[in-house]
A and B are shown apart, each in its own frame.
Chain A
C-alpha cells in the first residue's frame, strides 16, 4: 500500500525559504522508473506542477519557478524534500506530493498525499 504525507511549516513570512518534506511508504525511490513530484493548489484555484525527482536523481522543474525550487531525495529515509526560496503571499497554497512510475511510458500521479496548507504572511 503506497502512502505519502507532506510535512512542514503552516506559516512562513515573505522572503523566507520554505522547506517541505514528503515521507512515503510502500515503494522505493531506488526502483527504476519511480518518481515523486510536488504539486500545489492556491485556495480556490487550479493545480500547478512544481517539481519531480526520479529514482536515478533526474530532476524536473516548472520553468516559471525553476530559479526558486530545489528538490532532493533521501532514499534511506524514504523522503523527498522541496525547498522554495523567496516566498511571497501568492505562494499561499496547499502543497501536495505524489508518486509516479513512468516505466510504462505514461507520466501521471497515481498516489497523492493529503496535502499541507502553507500560508505566506507577515
Chain B
C-alpha cells in the first residue's frame, strides 16, 4: 500500500482534459512538502513532469499542470493526445518515514 494514494486509472478522449489526484497525509503533503509528478511511457524509465507542485522542467509542454492544496495534489492534462498514454506517479517526502514516497501510479488511457 503506497503512502500517497492515486486512482488506478483515468481515461479521456483526444482533446479533453483529465486530472489525476494524489492524496497524502499530515506527514507528507499536508506538512508542506512539495509534490512532484513523473510520466512513465511503456517500457521506459520515469521522466520528471512537474516539480515543486507546479513547475515544468525544460521541454515539458504547458498542457501539463500541477496544483496542491492541504493534503492533496493534482495533475491536470489538457488537450489530451495519444502520446500522453502512460503511467503517472506522484512523489513527495514524508517526515515520519524520513524518506521519499511515491504514489501507486495512475494509468492514463487515451480513448
Q: Which residues of A contact B (CB under 8 A)?
A: 37, 39, 46-49, 52, 60-63, 96, 104, 106-115
Contact = CB atoms under 8 A, between A and B. Distances in A.
Contacts of A114: 45
Contacts of A60: 98-100
30 contacts: A46-B2, A46-B102, A46-B103, A46-B104, A47-B38, A47-B89, A47-B102, A48-B102, A49-B99, A49-B101, A60-B98, A60-B99, A61-B99, A62-B99, A63-B97, A63-B99, A96-B45, A104-B52, A107-B34, A108-B34, A108-B52, A109-B46, A109-B48, A109-B91, A110-B51, A111-B48, A112-B45, A112-B46, A113-B45, A114-B45
Interface of B: 2, 33-34, 36, 38, 45-48, 51-52, 57, 89, 91, 93, 97-105
Contacts of B51: 106, 108, 110
A108 B99 CA distance: 11
B102 to A, nearest CB: 4
A114 B100 CA distance: 20
B7 to A, nearest CB: 13
Given A62-B97, A108-B51, 7 more contacts: A39-B102, A46-B102, A49-B100, A60-B100, A106-B34, A107-B100, A109-B48
Contacts of A96: 45-46
Contact of A108 (B45, B48, B98, B103): B48
A110 B102 contact: no
Contacts of A52: 99-100
A106 B48 contact: no
A96 B103 CA distance: 17
Given A46-B2, A46-B105, A47-B105, A110 B48 contact: yes
